[in-house]
Structure 1
Amino acid sequence: MRHVYWIGGGSGAGKSTIARRLADRHGWRLYATDDVMGDHARRTTPEQAPLLHAFMAMDMDERWVDRSPETMLETFHWFRGEGFGLIVEDLLRMPPQPRVVVEGFRLLPHLVQPLLTEPGHAVWLLPTPEFRQSAITGRATPGGRFTDRTSDPERANRNIAARDHMFTERLREETARLRLPAVTVNPTMSEDELAERVSGIFGL
């Protein structure tokens, strides 16, 4: 796994943007963990990923409206590492050249750390609530957000924002405890600045 670079972090932190920039700049392969979630869900059984299959059985309100942000955090399958082994399987099937940059919130520090040949091959981007809100707002599409399919989109969005903030703080504590690189991303930081910070951590 010496050829793999990892960019984890909270939702709306700029992971995809920075990973794409690095891949384009250096001719690397890009592996976006969000893009393979459906495939990974199909490759698991309820015994292998019980939280994932329980989530799949819920309707939209059960997922995003009816439960507390704390419960959503503790039971969200990707936040608990379910399916991470499938990410590793996919990466091991790839040739060692070109290098690969992997991005996504599914890259939990304690799961990535054992795979690192050196700490500088991974970084976690930790968005402030203000940065995350700005990023999510900027992603709005004509069809609306998926929470529009709930009975109470406003409450669903609040629940998700609170859950994601707690997840980011958990990442902050875990990266500090494991002494892994992390960057706090706030609204004053430009995309160019963030790309340079990550490039510096990677030693590029």
Structure 2
Amino acid sequence: MAKKQRKRSPSSFQNPQSSARSAAAKEAARTVAEGWHPRPLLPQLRLVFALAGLGVLCIVIFLALWLPSKGVVDDLRSRGVTATAAVTKVDDKPETVEVRFRSSGETVTTNLHDYAGMRPEVQVGQTLTVRYDRQDPSRVLTQSWVNSPPIVNLPMLGTAALALLLLAAAAFLTLRRHQVLSLAEVSSQDGSPSSSLAVEEDGKTTQLSKE
């Protein structure tokens, strides 16, 4: 007696065309997944300008500290007069060093001029050799600082380093912005039908694509 053939459930039948479409869809999804890259962010122009502006501000502060002090040193070297002065007062708030010396037969009491915000570390009663301007005795520095000014000091070094850091950051963001825009242009000229690139600037996302 022949065995009775078991009937197959209708759900077990698969349309060949449907199967082919499913396989093609899976392959397309895999291709898209492999070619997907995170959306690049376009550095904002206002951030670049802000960093560059702060860098320029630091340069201005550096020059404001250095140029007046350099001018005093140059003037004292050219027309300064040497004298022996006694330190009469030292204060930290604000930082001042008061000295007393004689000029043209008169006693002059004034504060040592700062060099880029710095003054020498001295004590009350200490004797110093100073160089001053006869036309303006308040322009006075120690003879040692006139001969060899302190080139490296904390205020000047800090502002110079910060300026370089800010300008370098602005240059990096400018270069990054150029790279993102170049990538967007190349992507928009790509022959693939789905080539696209999204860039974000000032909180707005722009989709660049070629259909």
TM range (shorter): under 0.3
Using CA pairs below 8 Å that are at least 6 residues apart, which structure has the higher relative contact order? Answer: 1
| TM-score for the superposition, normalised by structure 2 | 0.23
| TM-score for the superposition, normalised by structure 1 | 0.24
Instruction: Please tell me whether Structure 1 or Structure 2 has the larger radius of gyration of its CA atoms.
Output: 2
Normalized per residue, which structure has more helix?
A: 1
